[in-house]
Chains A and B, each alone.
Chain A
Amino acid sequence: MELTVIWFIAISVLWTGYFVLEGFDFGVGTLMSFMGGRDSVDRRVALNSIGPVWDANEVWLITALGATFAAFPAWYASLLSGFYAPMFLILVALILRGVAFEYRGKRDSAPWRAWWDRAILLGSVLPAFLWGVVFANIVRGVAMDADQVVTASVPDLLNPYALLGGLTTLSLFTLHGAVFLTLKTDGPVRVRARRAALWAACAAVPSGTLFLAWTQLAHGGGTRTLPLVLIAATALVGGVAAAWHRREGWSFAFTAVTVLTVFAALFGSLFPNVLPSTTDPAFGLTVSNASSAEYTLTLMSWVAVVFLPLVLLYQGWSYWVFRRRVTGETVTGATVTRGEDRDGRPEPAV
């Protein structure tokens, strides 16, 4: 197999890994404000379920981008300059979200926490939606001239297929995050998260199925992507069914497979292009005209072969260390006495 093809696969793996992992912490961020009353311990339980791992999950993005820069410089250049507005919004969202996670609990003040809760909500919903818009547009192709400069405007990027892609990633990540919460927490959050998962499924199943069908029919890689599309759709339904039956481990495994196969199908549809041009197919970027020279690709292959397993090992270990369910007691270090929320209503005992 050619090195450029291997690196296309490697980049796909990094991006897909990013979405499988950060997908659920986007979902948890989206749902946190609905997991308990303002200022309640329940919100903290939701937040602490991703506390030890979200930062390392985000490094998958940094690695995916860094690897794209090294292996396909032209792809990196055209993609980031061409999707300027969504990339800027994603950046601002990730900045606010990351700071919010760290700072929310560092002042004992209800308005302080309320502001950071908004930042977490916005900072999770926005990238969850925009990454779908971006990747749908990559598969669909954008207006791009002979110098590989993307000329598409913001309204061009908001075409129906891309919007459906955004809706799919947003609802799918929300479902994935809800299922993660049912698996990783206990008490009222676990119960509410299951309800949230079923609600998210109402959006994720129709939009996901439609998006997968549209991708396969209009941009698909034929028999190369068909199995992936079928697995994705099956796993999605399976995940919802497992959530319904309170099989939490299974439902999380299923939603993880769904995210994985959705992105595998997108990358499979894209190949051998990396950023097609709708202006003239000849202007498009492919694995061969966007790639680095052989020396860099060989070098990076060795680096990846040696270090990626090591990373997986210790990142896996950190998940193992924090395998226990998070509860009000683990968060506060004390037995929680259920009180009233900010509006004076008694918190539901569930």
Chain B
Amino acid sequence: MEALELARWQFGVTTIYHFLFVPLTIGLSFIVAVLQTLWYRTGRHEYLQATQFFGKLFLINFAMGVVTGIVQEFQFGMNWSEYSRFVGDVFGAPLAMEALLAFFLESTFIGLWIFGWHRLPRGAHLACIWLVAVGTNLSAYFILAANAWMRHPVGFTVNEETGRAELTDILAVLGNDQAWSTYLHTVSAAFVTAGLFVVAVSAYKLWRNSHHNDTGVAGVVPPKGDFALFRGALKVGLVFTLAAGALVVFSGDHQAKLAAQYEPMKLAAAEALWETEEGAAFSALAVGDTEERYNPIDITIPNVLSFLATGEFDGEVHGMNNLQEAYEEYYGPGNYTPNVFVVYWSFRLMMGLGMFGVAFAALGLYLTRGRERTPTGKWFYYAAMLALPAALAANIFGWVLTEMGRQPWTVHGELLTAASVSPGVSLGAVATTLAGFTAVYGLLFVVEVGLLLKYVKAGPSHLVPDLEDDEDESRIPHFSY
């Protein structure tokens, strides 16, 4: 065991954990802003209730996203000092911009939003949550541009003298087609996730409401208004999910084409394609032999991979064996093939779990069409609640595919992962911090989920009592610590 291996595990654990909260922050900030806008425009009480209810859940999630994000800013330097030395000139710029342009916006206005319920005019207070939503989206763009640069490095030269990458064109880095394509894919997936969060919460409330006549806390009868509120919220969530889902599919298709162009090895591994083919088939199920580098079993759909990768049914798709040979010739001896098993399955799990949620949204909209209809079958509510963890897992598998598929590189074609790790940090040190982060994160996860459940069960009327008249400002609850 080497420090390198544990440093990779640490990056995986801390980043995946961070990304459980990020998609919800991105999507829910927007959804809460929409709900509050509806309240601002119509003055209807259930919109205020929905804003504060989902706003509370959003804040519980937001806190975790913020604190686990700090780790990312330190981690490049702590565990990946050689990477930082090599890329800082290029990679540091979007990170600094993210902090200056996005994080300040997000953090200042979230404070104003939480504590400003009674201190700001309604319009200004509404603007605060919109600025938070803008901030989270801006932040996503900068960090994804930095990540896209690692997969498709542009706008730089390597200084012969220092051996470091130097930025030559920031517009190339920020306008990288891999950057905006990844942004669309990631952010639309975040909206799907947040949409399904609203769906899962609303489904739970409706189910307890109609099947048990309680709020989830045994014996506590839900107020009459709850049913209409959560039926409305369910539909809002379903619409969000389906609309964003269409964008996920469209941008995902573009991502596959970019992978074929910039990271053919990743695409080949994701499809367990060993030999270069014209009119390559899409693998439905492959059992591969990574020693002998072939698939004893491969159930395929003819020509589909070529179409996905190139837009033509008989287009050429490179196989891993051919690429390995070409890379060895170009970069020197070494293994340039990523972990095929992980990449192949994470690709399938990402697509399968993601599609499940989007398909469920389409079905759900059909089943809740009109003004009154609500599904009665238990299966609907179970499926709605399962769609949320499925969407979160789809996000995670997407990142596993992206990052594991890039191996053995940190910066594609420029810097190997093995050459990126901190030389001065011992195995024991990485092991200690890995154990520490895992323990703290595990504990906080239990606490966070517990709190979410508590507030879901308590319901909106716990936060915002049923008022006759919202114009009585002083009775709108304010948030404080």
Expressed in whole angstroms, the Cα–Cα distance for A110 and B110 within the complex equals 27
Residue of A nearest to B112 (CB): A318
Q: Do residues A70 and B111 form an inter-chain contact, with CB atoms below 8 A?
A: no
Q: Do residues B480 and A70 form an inter-chain contact, with CB atoms below 8 A?
A: no
Q: Do residues A80 and B74 form an inter-chain contact, with CB atoms below 8 A?
A: yes
Interface window among B31-39, B114-122, B233-241? B114-122
User: In the assembled complex, which residues on chain A have CB atoms less than 8 Å from the CB atom of B477?
Assistant: 333
Q: Do residues A103 and B451 form an inter-chain contact, with CB atoms below 8 A?
A: yes
Is B98 an interface position by the 8 A CB rule? Answer: yes
Q: Do residues B63 and A102 form an inter-chain contact, with CB atoms below 8 A?
A: yes
Q: Do residues A94 and B70 form an inter-chain contact, with CB atoms below 8 A?
A: yes
A62 touches which one: B73, B422, B480 (CB < 8 A)? B73
Quick one: which of A287-338 are within 8 Å of B by CB?
292-293, 295-296, 299-300, 303-304, 307-308, 311, 314-315, 318, 321-322, 330-331, 333
Smallest CB separation, A291 vs chain B (Å): 9
Residue of A nearest to B62 (CB): A102
The main secondary structure of chain B at its interface with chain A is helix
Q: Do residues B423 and A106 form an inter-chain contact, with CB atoms below 8 A?
A: no
Is B429 an interface position by the 8 A CB rule? Answer: yes
Residue of B nearest to A47 (CB): B481
Is A209 an interface position by the 8 A CB rule? Answer: no
Q: Do residues B88 and A73 form an inter-chain contact, with CB atoms below 8 A?
A: yes
Is B283 an interface position by the 8 A CB rule? Answer: no
Contact status of A66 and B96, CB under 8 A, knowing A48-B480, A51-B481, A80-B74: yes
Quick one: which of A92-118 are within 8 Å of B by CB?
92, 94-96, 98-99, 101-107
A51 touches which one: B62, B107, B111 (CB < 8 A)? B111
- Cβ proximity bits B87-119 to A, threshold 8 Å, 1 near / 0 not: 111111101111111011101111110111001
Is A147 an interface position by the 8 A CB rule? Answer: yes
Q: Do residues A296 and B166 form an inter-chain contact, with CB atoms below 8 A?
A: yes
Q: Do residues A107 and B454 form an inter-chain contact, with CB atoms below 8 A?
A: yes
Smallest CB separation, B434 vs chain A (Å): 10
A151 touches which one: B62, B104, B424 (CB < 8 A)? B424
Q: Do residues A85 and B95 form an inter-chain contact, with CB atoms below 8 A?
A: no
Is A79 an interface position by the 8 A CB rule? Answer: yes
Interface window among A53-61, A199-207, A230-238, A276-284? A53-61
User: In the assembled complex, which residues on chain B have CB atoms less than 8 Å from the CB atom of A62?
Assistant: 70, 73, 99, 103
| Residues of A participating in the B interface, judged by any CB pair closer than 8 Å | 44, 47-48, 51-56, 58-59, 61-63, 65-74, 76-82, 84-85, 87-88, 91-92, 94-96, 98-99, 101-107, 147-151, 292-293, 295-296, 299-300, 303-304, 307-308, 311, 314-315, 318, 321-322, 330-331, 333
A-B contact pairs, 7 of them (CB 8 A): A51-B114, A72-B88, A73-B89, A76-B92, A77-B84, A91-B71, A293-B166
